[in-house]
C-alpha cells in the first residue's frame, strides 16, 4: 500500500539476524501516524516491547520479552481514521487512534453515520494528545473565529485531528467555504508555516512533537492558548476533548503554559485476533522490559502506564478485547 511506510524496528532486525528455526513467526502490523508526530515513535516502542522473534534470546538471558514468535512492525500511516478502517478490514492487526474517532467509527455515528466498524476492540488507553494550534512567532488570535479568511492546515484526511477540528471551527462560524484549508501532515504543515505559505495549523499529538521542536528552534512559532469558556464549548461539541495543558518550556520560545483541549490515544486491535494472542501482547505491553523502553523513548512514553490503561475506556462504548480484559482482571486492575 503506497501510503504506508514500514518501520521494521529492532524486533524485525533481530528476526533476520538469527538462523531459521522450527517456530513460525507471527507478523503483527501496528498503524501509527506521520514520522514527525507522536504515534510513529510510540508505535515503534510498543512494537519493540511486544516482539520476541523466533530464535531470539530468552527474556531472562537479556533477550526480548514480548510474545514468543511475534514480530511486530510499526507502520507510518495517516493516523486514526485510516488505522481504525484498516483494523476493521484486516489490513492491520492493530493501530493507534484517538478515542473520539474510535467511538464514532465503532458506533457509526457523526461523520461515520451508517458505517459501523464493529470489529474494533480496545487494548489500552495510552496518553493524552494535546491539540496544538500553531502560528508564526508573535502571531495570536482571540478565538477560532479569527481563522476565517486565513490559510489553515487542518491535518491529513484520514486523521482524527481533522475530524475534530472541522467540528470545532464550525462552532465559531469557520468552514471550508470561508477559509483556505490545507490537508497536510505535521511535517508538511511546519514546513509551510515556516515558508509563509499557511497562517496556522492544527495538530493533536503528545508533546513534544518533533516537527514543532525543530520549527520552534529555527523559525520560531507561537501556540494558541484557549480560554476556559472556549475549552468548555469544545468539550460540549466533542466530548472526548477535555481541558489540558502544554507546559511552558516544552517548545523553544513558548515560555507560558498553553491551555488546550486533549483527547486520549488508544491502542486498538481487531476482534478477529485470538484471546491468547491479545492476552500475551497486553501482558508484554506492561512488563518491566517494555516499561524501560517507554521510559527511555519519546517523552510521552512515561505517561503510558498500566494504572491509567483503563481510564475512560468503560465510558467510551468500545469493548475491551477479551484477551486484554483477561490480563487486567488477573492483574487486579479490573473487577
Burial of 23 (0-12, 13-18, 19+ CB in 10 A): exposed
Residue 256 is classified by DSSP as: S
Q: Position of cell 510474545?
A: 67
pLDDT at 2 over 80: no
**pLDDT category, 150, cuts 50, 70, 90?**
very high
Residue extents of the structural domains in the chain: 5-126+265-330, 130-263
pLDDT of residue 18: 38
> Roughly how many angstroms between the first and final C-alpha of the chain, as a whole number?
41
pLDDT at 250 over 70: yes
pLDDT of residue 24: 75
Residues 6 or more apart in contact with residue 133 via CB below 8 angstroms: 200, 201, 202, 223, 224, 260
Residue spans of beta strands (DSSP E) within 37-162: 51-52, 67-68, 70-76, 94-98, 120-135, 151-153
Q: Are 267 and 122 in contact (CB under 8 A)?
A: yes
pLDDT of residue 65: 95
H-helix segments, 174-285: 186-194, 210-218, 228-237, 275-285
pLDDT at 248 over 60: yes
What is the arithmetic mean of pLDDT over 183-199?
A: 95
pTM of the model: 0.83
**CATH fold for the domain made of 130-263:** D-Maltodextrin-Binding Protein; domain 2 (3.40.190)
For domain 5-126+265-330, the CATH architecture is 3-Layer(aba) Sandwich (3.40)
Alpha carbon distance 280, 282 (integer Å): 5
Alpha carbon distance 269, 28 (integer Å): 10
The percent of residues in the chain predicted with pLDDT above 70, rounded, is 93
pLDDT tens column, 38-95: 999 999 999 999 999 999 999 989 889 999 999 999 999 999 999 999 999 999 999 9
pLDDT of residue 162: 93
pLDDT tens column, 275-322: 999 999 999 999 999 999 999 999 999 999 999 999 989 888 999 999
Radius of gyration of the chain (CA): 20
Same CATH topology for 5-126+265-330 and 130-263: the answer is yes
pLDDT of residue 23: 57
Amino acid at each position: 500500500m503506497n501510503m504506508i511506510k514500514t518501520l521494521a524496528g529492532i524486533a524485525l532486525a533481530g528476526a533476520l539476524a538469527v538462523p531459521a528455526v522450527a517456530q513460525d513467526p507471527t507478523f503483527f502490523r501496528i498503524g501509527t501516524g506521520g514520522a514527525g508526530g507522536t504515534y510513529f515513535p510510540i508505535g515503534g516502542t510498543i512494537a519493540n516491547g511486544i516482539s520476541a522473534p523466533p530464535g531470539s534470546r530468552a527474556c531472562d538471558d537479556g533477550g526480548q520479552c514480548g510474545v514468543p514468535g511475534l514480530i511486530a512492525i510499526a507502520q507510518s500511516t495517516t493516523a486514526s481514521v485510516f488505522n481504525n478502517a484498516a483494523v476493521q478490514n484486516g489490513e492491520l492487526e492493530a493501530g493507534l487512534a484517538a478515542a473520539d474517532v474510535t467511538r464514532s467509527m465503532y458506533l457509526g455515528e457523526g461523520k461515520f453515520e451508517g458505517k459501523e466498524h464493529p470489529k474494533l476492540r480496545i487494548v489500552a488507553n495510552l496518553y493524552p494528545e494535546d491539540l496544538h494550534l500553531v502560528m508564526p512567532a508573535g502571531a495570536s488570535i482571540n478565538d477560532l473565529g479569527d481563522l476565517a479568511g486565513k490559510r489553515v492546515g487542518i491535518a491529513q484526511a484520514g486523521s482524527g485531528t481533522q475530524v475534530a477540528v472541522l467540528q470545532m471551527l464550525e462552532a465559531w462560524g469557520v468552514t471550508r467555504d470561508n477559509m483556505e484549508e490545507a490537508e497536510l501532515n505535521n511535517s508538511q504543515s511546519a514546513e509551510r508555516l515556516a515558508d509563509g505559505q499557511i497562517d496556522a495549523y492544527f495538530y493533536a499529538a503528545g508533546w513534544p512533537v518533533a516537527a514543532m521542536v525543530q520549527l520552534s528552534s529555527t523559525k520560531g512559532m507561537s501556540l494558541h492558548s484557549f480560554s476556559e469558556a472556549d475549552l468548555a464549548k469544545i468539550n460540549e461539541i466533542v466530548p472526548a476533548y477535555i481541558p489540558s495543558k502544554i507546559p511552558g518550556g516544552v517548545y523553544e520560545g513558548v515560555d507560558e503554559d498553553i491551555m488546550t483541549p486533549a483527547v486520549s490515544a488508544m491502542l486498538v486491535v481487531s476482534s478477529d485476533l485470538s484471546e491468547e494472542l491479545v492476552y500475551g501482547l497486553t501482558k508484554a505491553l506492561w512488563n518491566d522490559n517494555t516499561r524501560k523502553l517507554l521510559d527511555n523513548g519519546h517523552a510521552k512514553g512515561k505517561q503510558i502506564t498500566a494504572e491509567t490503561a483503563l481510564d475512560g475506556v468503560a465510558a467510551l462504548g468500545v469493548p475491551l478485547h477479551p484477551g486484554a480484559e483477561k490480563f487486567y482482571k488477573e492483574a487486579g486492575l479490573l473487577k
